[in-house]
Amino acid sequence: MSYRLDEIDRRIIYELMHDARNTSAPTIAEYVNVSPGTIRNRIKQLEEHDIVRSYTAEIDFERAEGHLTNLYVCNAPVSERNALAQEASAVPGVINVRQLMTGRRNLHVMAVGEDTEHLRRIARALSRLGIEIEDETLIESEINSPYAAFGPDEEISIDSATDFISLPGDANVVDVTVQADAPIVDHTLEEAVERGVLDDDSLVIAIEREEDVLTPHGTTVIQPDDIVTVLSRSGATDRVIDAFIAEEEA
């Protein structure tokens, strides 16, 4: 089942890519302006949907023990590529196997060896599997960067809408993080509609609070830092958001 990323998810992925080891839920929460519990809940969902797959350490093997890191650019039959990639990953010394959607040079194998003879033994092992090595080269260094499109953007306000979906007709669905001084804070949904804070044609369909996802009812009280999903039948997004953000910033 597909998982739809919103702006909070994107920022979490960006921060984890930037430095997963030193990035805690409270730290990310400060950047995104939601609670640490919400961040932990989102990370759990990203892991469960296999979007965040692992947290790996970047090792400089040359500095560690003078080892060599080598990249083998290989060819594998398309029909056997996945199976051969699995077998290649089991060869001692291999630390990464990447499959490419091309006819040739479609398998990149990265391996670490104590010396050139060790690397030649790895090459022979790959060849015995039926993998054709077309080229190989020693890797001097590697630089990783987080995906910039998921990073901070001055034009994006995390404090207001974090996601928006347009539906057929004029309807839409918007996710918004509730600010501390918003008009709807400490009111039930019934009270919000009665007082005109929330439009009659707007329906709160989900509330994410800390690590829980709540099913809202008329008696549900809206709290600061709730991430609220609202269906607007009229499509009046600005009027919907106004209920959940501080009046001076509306």
pLDDT tens by residue, 196-213: 999 888 899 999 998 888
Give the amino acid at 201: D
Assigned CATH topology for domain 61-138? Alpha-Beta Plaits (3.30.70)
Assigned CATH topology for domain 161-249? Alpha-Beta Plaits (3.30.70)
3 state SS for 168-185: CCCCEEEEEECCCCCCCC
Q: What is the pLDDT of residue 157?
A: 46
Residue 140 phi/psi, 5° resolution? -85, -45
Q: What is the pLDDT of residue 105?
A: 93
Q: What would the mean pLDDT of 236-250 be, rounded to a whole number?
A: 75
Token pair recorded at residue 145: 């960067």
Phi-psi region of 235 (alpha: psi -120 to 50; beta: other; left: phi over 0): left
Long-range CB contact pairs, 239-242, < 8 A, 24+? 239/199, 240/174, 240/176, 240/198, 240/199, 240/202, 241/160, 241/161, 241/174, 241/176, 242/183
Same fold, 61-138 and 161-249: yes
Q: Where do we find the tokens 């984890």?
A: 16
What sign for the dihedral angle of Cα 36, 42, 47, 51? Answer: negative
- Arch. (CATH architecture) of 7-54: Orthogonal Bundle (1.10)
pLDDT of 97 higher than 90: yes
Q: What is the C-alpha separation between 31 and 107, in angstroms, rounded? A: 38
3-class secondary structure, 113: strand
> CB under 8 Å to 153, separation ≥6 — which residues?
none
Among 82-86, 223-227, 232-236, whose mean pLDDT is lowest? 232-236
Q: Count CB atoms within 10 A of the CB of residue 209.
A: 19
Q: What is the C-alpha separation between 240 and 201, in angstroms, rounded? A: 10
Q: Which residue has the higher pLDDT, 57 or 237?
A: 57
pLDDT tens by residue, 148-200: 889 886 544 444 666 777 777 778 888 899 998 999 999 999 999 999 999 88
Q: What is the pLDDT of residue 250?
A: 40
pLDDT band at 246, cuts 50/70/90?
confident
Q: What is the pLDDT of residue 159?
A: 47
Q: What is the pLDDT of residue 17?
A: 93
Share of the chain above pLDDT 90, in %: 58
* Residues linked to residue 10 through DSSP beta bridges, in sequence order: none
Q: What is the pLDDT of residue 153?
A: 67
Q: What is the pLDDT of residue 249?
A: 45
Which range of 11-25, 53-67, 86-100, 234-248 scores highest in mean pLDDT? It is 86-100
pLDDT of 74 higher than 60: yes
Token pair recorded at residue 87: 């077998």
pLDDT of 63 higher than 60: yes
Q: What would the mean pLDDT of 102-129 be, rounded to a whole number?
A: 95
Task: Return the domain boundaries, the chain.
Answer: 7-54, 61-138, 161-249
Token pair recorded at residue 206: 């989900």
Q: Count CB atoms within 10 A of the CB of residue 23.
A: 18
Token pair recorded at residue 62: 């040359």
pLDDT band at 248, cuts 50/70/90?
low
Q: What does each C-alpha distance from 21 to 15, 57, 169 come to in angstroms?
A: 10, 8, 45
Q: What's the pTM value of the predicted model, to 2 decimals?
A: 0.73
